[in-house]
A and B are shown apart, each in its own frame.
Chain A
C-alpha cells in the first residue's frame, strides 16, 4: 500500500507541473495532502513492544509498568514486581473470564492458564474483550492472540477442553500441578484459580479439583437476568466449599406440556460482567500481593447498588469427601495457627510503657475477659443449657448404607453389559 501511495504522489506532482491552468493547483494540493496523510497512516502499522526484563518504576511514557510500580511509592503494595512470580488459572473465558484475563495481563501477571472449550460467537459481542473478527476462533486462542499483543511478558497457556469430562479433568488437574514455572514455591503449580464459568457442573468440577489439591480459589458469577453478581473466596478446609451449601433446589413440579420455550437464553450486560471481573481481579491482586483484605464473599446487586458481604464456615457434613479431609487438616493445624497469630499480635503490639493516664480517680481497670469466662471452647453448634435436640444432629443418610456394605453383587459387569445389548437388539 505504501508503494502505491508513493507512486500516486509522484503522479500528482507531474500532473501539477504539466497543468497550464494555475487555478486548479489549489485542489491538486488538497489531494496531495490527503494522500500524504494516508501514507502516514499506512506507516503507523501495529508495533509490537518487546519483552521487558525487569519492571522499572521510572516515569517515562515508554514504560508499561510505571503506573503499577507507583503503587509501591504510594505505600499500597510492598513489592509490586513479585506479581511476575505468580501463576493464575482462569477457568471459563467468557464475559467475566476474558476481562479478568486482560486485567491481569495489563497488571503484568507472571503466567496465565486459560481454560475453555467454546468458540467466539457474534452473540458474545455485547460483552467486552472479544472482537467480531475473532468469531469462530476458540475463545482460548482468541484470548491468547489479544493478550500476547497487549503484554508479551505474560506467559500464556491455553487449554481448549471441557473440565467436567474425565479426560478434560485429568488434563486440568495435571496442568494445575505443573510446577515448572516457579519450582521453589510450595503447594500446587498455581497461586490462585479463578472460576469464571456459567454453570453448576463446571463449578463443581473446579471445586473438586481445588479441594483435592488444597488450592485456594475465587468463584465468580453473574445472574441469569444480568443485574446481579458475586465473588467468593474458597480456601479448602477453612471456608465453605462450593458443595458445602448446595443450591436451594425447589422441584417446581412442572408439567412437561407447559415447559416454556423461552428459558435457555440468559441475559447479559457488559457493565455487570465488567464490575464482577473488576471485583474479582481486585481481590486477586490483594490476595497475591498481600494488601488490604480479601472479601470472603461479596455480592453485587446492581438495581440498588447494594454490596452485601458475609462469611461461610465449611459444612461438617459436606457431601464432598475431599472437603471433609481438608476440614480435618485445618482443625489439626489449629494450635500452630493460634501460636503464629499470638506471636504476630505480640510483635505488632506496642511495648508497655507504664500507665496510659497519670491519675485513675475511679480505679478503672481493663479485665481480660478470657480469664473470666473459663474454657470458652464451646463449638458454635453447642446448645444452651436446658435445651436438647429432638432430631439427630448429623445426617444419618450416609451411615444407613454402611451396614449393608458388603453387598454381595454376584453379577459381573460384562454380563450386565451383554444383557443390555441383548435387549437393545431384540
Chain B
C-alpha cells in the first residue's frame, strides 16, 4: 500500500473488514455476506459525509443483492461531474472483484473496457486478491473507483471529452 496517499489509507482502515467468504450462489452464507457488505457501505458513506467528502450513492437493484446501481461524482475546478454507476456481483465473488461500470463514459477513455467497465487491473486487482475475502463493495469503491475518477475526470474534462451539465445546456441553447 506504499504509494497511496495518507487520506485514502486512513479512510480505508476505518471501513469495517468482511469475514464471510461467500458469493451469490452460496445461499444463506451469501445473506450473511450481504449484511457485512451493507454494514461496510453504511460505515463508509457515513464517514464520507462527516468528512465532507460524500462522493457516491449505491443501492442494490434486486432483492438478491447481485446487481447494484447508483451515482458517483467528482469535483474538478469547482464543478461537479456526476456519472451513473452500476455493477454485477460475479458468481466467483469474492475471489474476483466486481467490475465497476460507468456506462456514460463508454468509448470516451482508453482506461475502460467495453460496456463502460473501468480498468482496475493495475491499481486495484492485486490489492483485492491479497485481501480476499476481507474487502467488499465499499473497499472496491474506495480503492478502485475513487482513484480512477481522480485520475480520469480531469483528463476527460481538459480534453473536452466531457462537459459540465451547465456548459452543455448553455451551448445547446446558444
A: which residues have CB within 8 A of B? Answer: 118, 164-166, 169, 200-201, 204-205, 207-208, 243, 246-247, 249-257, 259-265, 319-320, 401, 407, 409, 411, 413, 416-417, 419-421, 423-424, 426
For the complex, would chain B's binding face be called helix, strand, loop or mixed by DSSP majority? mixed
Closest residue on chain A to residue B48 by CB atoms: A423
A424 close to B45 (CB less than 8 A): yes
B110 close to A423 (CB less than 8 A): no
Sample (6) of A-B pairs whose CB atoms are under 8 Å apart:
A164-B90, A253-B2, A255-B5, A259-B151, A416-B35, A420-B59
B46 close to A254 (CB less than 8 A): no
B interface residues, tally (CB under 8 Å): 55
Closest residue on chain A to residue B132 by CB atoms: A319
Closest residue on chain A to residue B119 by CB atoms: A264
A260 to B70, CA, bound (A): 27
Closest residue on chain B to residue A411 by CB atoms: B35
Contacting residues of chain B (1-55) with chain A, CB-CB under 8 angstroms: 1-5, 8, 19, 24-25, 31-32, 34-35, 38-39, 41-42, 45-46, 49
Partner of B126, one of A208, A249, A264: A249
Whether A420 contacts B35 in the complex (CB less than 8 A), given A166-B64, A319-B95, comes out as no
B92 close to A201 (CB less than 8 A): yes
List B contacts of A201 (CB < 8 A): 90, 92, 96, 99
List B contacts of A264 (CB < 8 A): 110-113, 119, 121
B59 close to A257 (CB less than 8 A): no
B92 close to A204 (CB less than 8 A): yes
B92 close to A208 (CB less than 8 A): yes
Closest residue on chain B to residue A320 by CB atoms: B95
Q: Apart from A166-B24, A205-B90, A256-B146, what 18 extra A-B contacts exist at CB < 8 Å?
A: A164-B88, A166-B91, A201-B96, A204-B95, A208-B92, A251-B126, A254-B3, A256-B8, A257-B150, A259-B147, A259-B148, A259-B151, A262-B110, A263-B119, A263-B121, A264-B111, A411-B35, A424-B59
List B contacts of A260 (CB < 8 A): 122
B151 close to A401 (CB less than 8 A): no
A426 to B1, CA, bound (A): 33
List A contacts of B3 (CB < 8 A): 252-255
A251 close to B127 (CB less than 8 A): yes
B49 close to A165 (CB less than 8 A): no
Partner of A420, one of B38, B99, B114: B38
B95 close to A419 (CB less than 8 A): no
Whether A423 contacts B35 in the complex (CB less than 8 A), given A249-B126, A255-B4, A262-B110, comes out as no
A250 to B125, CA, bound (A): 10
Whether A166 contacts B60 in the complex (CB less than 8 A), given A252-B122, A259-B147, comes out as no
B75 on the A face (CB < 8 A) = no
Task: For the complex of A and B, list the 10 residue pairs with the smallest distance between their C-beta atoms, beginning with the closest.
Answer: A256-B147, A253-B3, A416-B38, A204-B92, A249-B126, A259-B151, A164-B90, A251-B126, A249-B129, A169-B91
